[in-house]
Structure 1
């Protein structure tokens, strides 16, 4: 029997209406969302349920909203006996993974990611940084391209999210990101897509945010994990709370090794992947890494949860 992993989405998966269905139909999910409002001292739930979208996607709102929605959905899974052997989360989603594994309390996590979002917004003036998704190149060639672009333009660009084979996001100062995109097309990239983000995440430009986040996280207790978390920075399973605190700090400026994370989970005999939270981005990335032999689910409301549970029960019987 294969093992199960919970996957938690990161920024970009948010949408108005997220979490409303589980809030309305499940007391545990309702409690988590109300607790977020109390902790943050503003109505995050109203933004989650009603938007407006432009306010919800602001980093300081999107990050706590995504964490809260994921943990609310997790409450429904737990009450129905759905558990995991491993957890992982994409960028911001790593905080959700740490809550799911008992490393962080939900109140500590929701306050930390609200501050993380503010720090990231403040780190780089608007228009200075950029991110682009590059499709169809391998990481070694794209790494060489980012180094060449950095040298040519005199500004920094680097690999930010290594999401799946042929899908890598680059991040840095705008001129360098644009130049790297041009060079990538010359070297055979299928597409280069500028991303509508508010900052150059997972790049050295986020160092001011990293310094402030270090202070925030130093005041928070990190427990050892109940289940291992495969982390973004090294794509290895971790259980030590102090180590995971350090990796969360490093994560702000380091690449997200998501393809490597999925491959490591498969090596660990994970055959069932459950994306817990808004959207289905991570489910799609898992399928790009390995198409066959895996069960992949995305659960974001009561209907998708019930469909998954029905399928799992049929397989057991």
Structure 2
């Protein structure tokens, strides 16, 4: 059984999507719909823009979402048995499995970006990566460090055994990273992300975005999705909608998502993105399974070696 896995924010790259637009004419409808909906040519930013332009709030999340949806819908060799998305990637997964329309998915992603940005600007918050400790140890120490320092610190992403992302106040993340480094972490560093995604800091965003999600039509999906909020498999559109409402304030349980997919018989994982971020994580957890990029399947062989000027 096959899973399509969709990475989140951070996989954006200069020139992303240009090959798809040039060599697959059927994709142009999606790209142009996005341009019209967003009110500016996101394709110009994706194909020709600088890294700084791609990092702008109104561009980053829509660009990643658009690229992933188009890439998944372009290939003709296979269709997934299940889908799963890491953070932002969950929105692309919900379009690909038919639960959301393309336009509704794009609308939610744009609003998610803009609403979250407003909240980020209100608080001095940050995120950090901690590698080399069991999740349980990090959870325990986060609570202790938070209590000792008086700074709010939370778990943001359970990315894989021994690989997590923490979030909270900017001061709290600095204190926590320094403590974990002193305790022997392989890596404990603040990330170049302004904000505290997947934490209680996003409660205002959850309420505002939740109203938009509530008004959005969710259909019966063609294949199940494993969702970030609980890591479990879902097919009921009401459950999926409710989980998505709490998506932005709850940690991403990617470790549980992969474990549950493996327990349910998934043996092939195809990353729908620009790089191998999720492939590396899944490979460590499922060393005997087939793990690759969607770009590795025959549909794309004819353009993989071509350079578009």
Is the alpha carbon distance of 1:185 and 1:84 closer, same or farther for their aligned partners in structure 2, counting shifts above 3 Å? Answer: same
**Secondary structure of the structure 2 residue equivalent to 1:270:** coil
- The reply to whether residue 117 of structure 1 matches residue 116 of structure 2 is no
Contact persistence 1:12–1:57 (CA under 8 A): no
- The reply to whether residue 4 of structure 1 matches residue 37 of structure 2 is no
Q: Cα RMSD between the aligned structures? A: 1.8
**Secondary structure of the structure 1 residue equivalent to 2:189:** strand
Counterpart of 1:61? 59
Where do residues 230-245 of structure 1 align in structure 2 (5 Å cutoff)?
A: 230-245=226-241
Q: Decide which of 149, 171, 176 is 2:172's aligned counterpart.
A: 176
Where do residues 291-302 of structure 1 align in structure 2 (5 Å cutoff)?
A: 291=287, 293-299=288-294
How many residues align structurally?
A: 303
Aligned mates of 1:127, 1:232 — CA distance in 2: 24
Counterpart of 2:15? 17
With structure 1 as the length reference, what TM-score do the two structures score?
Answer: 0.91
Contact persistence 1:21–1:301 (CA under 8 A): no
Alpha-carbon displacement from aligned partner over 1:235-282 (angstroms, at most 9, x marks no partner): 110011111111111110111011111111111111110111222211
Alpha-carbon displacement from aligned partner over 1:44-83 (angstroms, at most 9, x marks no partner): 1111111221121233311111110011111211xx1311
Q: Decide which of 37, 43, 50 is 1:52's aligned counterpart.
A: 50
Contact persistence 1:60–1:115 (CA under 8 A): no
Contact persistence 2:129–2:191 (CA under 8 A): yes
Contact persistence 2:231–2:253 (CA under 8 A): yes
Contact persistence 2:73–2:96 (CA under 8 A): no
Contact persistence 2:77–2:297 (CA under 8 A): no
**Secondary structure of the structure 1 residue equivalent to 2:220:** coil
Alpha-carbon shift at residue 186 of structure 1 (Å):
3.1
Contact persistence 1:59–1:198 (CA under 8 A): no
Counterpart of 1:315? none
Counterpart of 1:313? none
Contact persistence 1:137–1:166 (CA under 8 A): yes
Stretches of structure 1 that go unaligned for 5 or more consecutive residues are 310-317
Alpha-carbon shift at residue 126 of structure 1 (Å):
7.0
Is the alpha carbon distance of 1:295 and 1:118 closer, same or farther for their aligned partners in structure 2, counting shifts above 3 Å? Answer: same
Q: Decide which of 260, 263, 282 is 1:264's aligned counterpart.
A: 260
- The reply to whether residue 288 of structure 1 matches residue 275 of structure 2 is no
Where do residues 2-151 of structure 1 align in structure 2 (5 Å cutoff)?
A: 3-77=1-75, 80-125=76-121, 128-151=124-147
With structure 2 as the length reference, what TM-score do the two structures score?
Answer: 0.93
Aligned mates of 2:46, 2:64 — CA distance in 1: 9
Contact persistence 1:60–1:121 (CA under 8 A): no
Alpha-carbon shift at residue 302 of structure 1 (Å):
8.9
Is the alpha carbon distance of 1:21 and 1:33 closer, same or farther for their aligned partners in structure 2, counting shifts above 3 Å? Answer: same
Alpha-carbon displacement from aligned partner over 1:155-191 (angstroms, at most 9, x marks no partner): 2111111101111000011111111112212332111
